[in-house]
Amino acid sequence: MPVASTRVSADCEQLEGLIEGIIGLSLAQLRQRARRGEAPPLPLYASGVRYRRERRGEEAWQSIAETYRRKCGDCEDLVAARVAELRFAGEAGAKPRLYSPRAGLVHCIVMRADGTTEDPSKVLGMKGKG
Q: What's the pLDDT score for residue 1? A: 32
Residue 39 has pLDDT above 60, yes or no: yes
Q: What's the pLDDT score for residue 15? A: 84
Q: What's the pLDDT score for residue 129? A: 60
Q: What's the pLDDT score for residue 26? A: 97
Beta bridge partners of 105: 2, 102
Question: Domain extents for the chain?
Answer: 5-123
pLDDT in tens, 69-92: 999 999 999 999 999 999 999 999
Q: What's the pLDDT score for residue 130? A: 54
DSSP one-letter string for the chain: -B--GGGHHHHHHHHHHHHHHHHHHHHHHHHHHHHTTPPPPPPGGGTT-EE-PPPTT------HHHHHHHTEE-HHHHHHHHHHHHHHTT-TT-EEEEEEEETTEEEEEEE-TTS-EE-HHHHTT--S--
Tell me which of 53 and 129 has the higher pLDDT: 53
Alpha-carbon distance 98 to 15, whole Å?
Answer: 8
pLDDT in tens, 2-27: 333 334 455 777 888 899 999 999 99
Q: What's the pLDDT score for residue 65? A: 96
Q: What's the pLDDT score for residue 9? A: 53
Q: Are 88 and 64 in contact (CB under 8 A)?
A: no
Q: What's the pLDDT score for residue 21? A: 95
Q: What's the pLDDT score for residue 78? A: 98
Which sign does the torsion angle of CA 26, 29, 35, 41 carry? negative
